[in-house]
Chain A
Amino acid sequence: MAEIDTIVAILVATMRAGTPLLFAALGELITEKAGVLNLGIEGMMLVGAVAGFIAMVLTGSPLIGVLAAMAAGMAMSGLFGFLTLTLMANQVATGLALTIFGVGLSAFVGLGYIGNPIQGLPGLAIPVLGDIPVLGSLLFNHDPLVYVSLVLLAAVTWFLYRSRAGLILRAVGESHEAAHAIGYSVLKIRYLAVLFGGATSGIAGAYLSLVYTPQWAENMTAGRGWIALALVVFATWRPARVLLGAYLFGGITIMGLHVQAAGFAISSHLVATLPYLATVLVLVLISRDATRIKLNAPAALGKPFHSSG
């Protein structure tokens, strides 16, 4: 039984490590499906993390913390939307600016909160189901946000492929001219998609600062925002594969820690490179087939839209 317990513990830790990636990547998926490339996830996550943490410290309520993180992420993405959608600024450059700004802003705002301990989000065991051996701890014994992330995955999948609004969103991402000609407001739909991406990035940040390591530290996202971006490519813009990718990366992070704990003398610095190297490797494997990327990527991704009529 001891071995099974260890395996279960590793799998649960994997899900926890993958959850922030899942949140951020799902938001970016919707954003990109609408034809907008937002490279500012890292910045939005950091601002979400610090906003959620401060709200939690001030109010003591995890719910308000998460909501504050969402609002902060949306404010950041609204800024991005104004620059890229209304003012048609270069999306790549603006996304980079958003990250640089978010790193600075979160460090600045969070200065007084470093090392401030908080009570992390309590777990939420589902009654009866949570008591089932092995499966119970694997599926029904997590913190609330893990469930939320899975519900969000189902909702995003349903929205994109089963709802009319999702169809319109995809149309805007494939050809904004056609969508505009039919009479849809390209800008409005893109704004909504960008704001959704900001909200989930905010939650992803809050997951780090309220649940995963309940504290605030400068730059605590450590590149997870960029890994989430890579995940969207890895998933060839399909929600279910985002889940697979997020847990895969979570697993790699956890594996590194366990290899060390098992007594292998590997520098923690070298272990820390694993998720990044894995991201590069996965990108190479997926992108090798240029046609596949071309067929799956939204055709209008990254292109600005200016309505002439």
Chain B
Amino acid sequence: MQLRLEPRAMPSKWLRYSSPLIALALTLVFGVILFSALGQNPAVALYTFFIRPIGTLYGLSELCIKAAPLLLCAVGLAIGFRGNVWNIGAEGQLTMGAICGGGLALAFYGDEGPWLLPLMIVGGGLGGMAWGAIPAFLKTRFNANEILTSLMLTYVAIQVLGYLVHGPWRDPEGFNFPETRLFGEDALLPVLIEGTRFHFGVVLAVLAAMIGWVFVTRTFAGFQIKVVGQAMAAANYAGYSGNRVVWTGFLIGGGLAGLAGLGEVAGPMGQLNPTISPGYGFAAIIVAFLGRLHPAGVLLASLLMALMYLGGESLQMNLNLPLAITGVFQGTLLFFVLASDVFIRFRVKLVHNVPRTAP
């Protein structure tokens, strides 16, 4: 007797949508085991991780603030992933967007106007887009693996940021701290809810997700991406260009990640410093898969992932547990999502061992 995986005649529709929930449930079970092993009461720890951070209006607004960059990055990545464009350098594109947008704020410091913020938003988007264009160019022109190039460029972008804030862009009155001066009033995203940090960037992110939804489900370009991703032979036969899909994926992904970076520096931070993002660009990969590469799913997944960041902070503050737990939870969740995917296309069957006949 043994367990075997047998292909289903048709992929299970029910499991397609419920498997992320199953994965989440399994992650919770993992959480119970983990917290018990750490000598914590699992009920208290899970409450502190998942519920307590969003018990107040302020908590909810913090959730939205953290979800916004994840949502922006993940919508862009999901569009690429649908077409088998493996842009995993969103973190670098986010950083470049922050550098370009934030650089404009510094350049026009002291003589600014209401035109500055829109200029920064465009600059941030274009900065991310330009950084995303490099792997796209190297892939389409030189066939260089985009996973590796986009990731290498992430490390480069982070070092460039480090160079700028340690060197030429350092705040002249900042006592040598590696950070720029605080941006002027006109360079900041307006706060929309009094008493919280809920800023205009969140609205931008939701807007981007909605446009992304229309793009993948209602446009020809979105359809082409899907065909190239699922059946390259059919795409070739139809005359769809794989190179065009690479460019589309990277420009959209890079642009949205750049916006996310701008939203961080012109939003909650108000300046540039060496660590703009706690790995939003990487966590967005999880968000994209958890959301089934669909903008609507990505919206829900980004809220969940944001909750994990807040939960980690809440555990640190209230139960004195290390912040790194967030990463463990995120990785585990993605494992379960990927593992439960198999049951969409396969069913588990108990078979009796039949002696194999000789060929």
Residues of chain A having any CB pair with chain B under 8 Å:
39, 79, 83, 87-90, 92-94, 96-98, 100-105, 107-108, 111, 183, 218, 222-223, 226-227, 229-230, 233, 267, 269-270, 272-273, 276-277, 279-280, 283-284, 287-288, 290, 293, 306
Asked, given contacts A101-B332, A105-B331, A288-B143, whether A83 binds B152 with beta carbons under 8 Å apart, the answer is no
Most B CB contacts (10 A, CB to CB) among A272, A279, A280, A284 go to A280
- Chain B interface main SS type: helix
The stretch among B42-50, B162-170, B233-241 that forms the contact with chain A is B162-170
With A280-B148, A283-B138 given, name 19 new contacts (CB 8 A): A83-B335, A87-B339, A89-B341, A93-B289, A100-B334, A101-B327, A101-B328, A101-B332, A101-B334, A108-B325, A108-B327, A111-B324, A223-B151, A226-B148, A269-B162, A270-B159, A276-B153, A284-B149, A306-B7
Distance of A87 Cα from B334 Cα, bound (Å): 14
Is A280 touching B152 in the complex (CB atoms < 8 A)? yes
Question: Cβ of B286: which chain A residues have Cβ within 8 Å of it?
Answer: 97, 100
Residues of chain B having any CB pair with chain A under 8 Å:
5, 7, 86, 88, 138, 142-145, 147-149, 151-153, 155-156, 159-160, 162-163, 166-167, 282-283, 285-286, 289, 322, 324-332, 334-335, 338-339, 341-342, 346, 359
Quick one: closest A residue to B327, CB to CB?
A104
Is B331 touching A97 in the complex (CB atoms < 8 A)? yes
Distance of A284 Cα from B148 Cα, bound (Å): 11
Question: Cβ of B88: which chain A residues have Cβ within 8 Å of it?
Answer: 96
- B142 is contacted by which of A92, A96, A272, A287 (Cβ under 8 Å)? A287
Is A279 touching B148 in the complex (CB atoms < 8 A)? yes
Most A CB contacts (10 A, CB to CB) among B142, B147, B331, B342 go to B331
**Count of A-B contacts judged by CB separation below 8 Å:** 144
Is A105 touching B142 in the complex (CB atoms < 8 A)? no
Question: Cβ of B324: which chain A residues have Cβ within 8 Å of it?
Answer: 104-105, 107-108, 111, 218
Distance of A283 Cα from B151 Cα, bound (Å): 13
- A230 is contacted by which of B143, B152, B289 (Cβ under 8 Å)? B152
Is B138 touching A89 in the complex (CB atoms < 8 A)? no
Question: Cβ of A92: which chain B residues have Cβ within 8 Å of it?
Answer: 86, 147
B9 to chain A, nearest CB (A): 14
Distance of A104 Cα from B162 Cα, bound (Å): 23
Question: Cβ of A100: which chain B residues have Cβ within 8 Å of it?
Answer: 282-283, 285-286, 327, 330-331, 334
Is A293 touching B143 in the complex (CB atoms < 8 A)? yes
Is B331 touching A102 in the complex (CB atoms < 8 A)? yes
Asked, given contacts A279-B152, A287-B145, whether A97 binds B334 with beta carbons under 8 Å apart, the answer is yes
Asked, given contacts A107-B324, A222-B155, A267-B167, whether A97 binds B160 with beta carbons under 8 Å apart, the answer is no
Quick one: closest B residue to A98, CB to CB?
B331
Distance of A276 Cα from B289 Cα, bound (Å): 27
B303 to chain A, nearest CB (A): 19
Is B144 touching A79 in the complex (CB atoms < 8 A)? no
Distance of A267 Cα from B169 Cα, bound (Å): 13
Asked, given contacts A102-B331, A287-B144, whether A94 binds B338 with beta carbons under 8 Å apart, the answer is yes
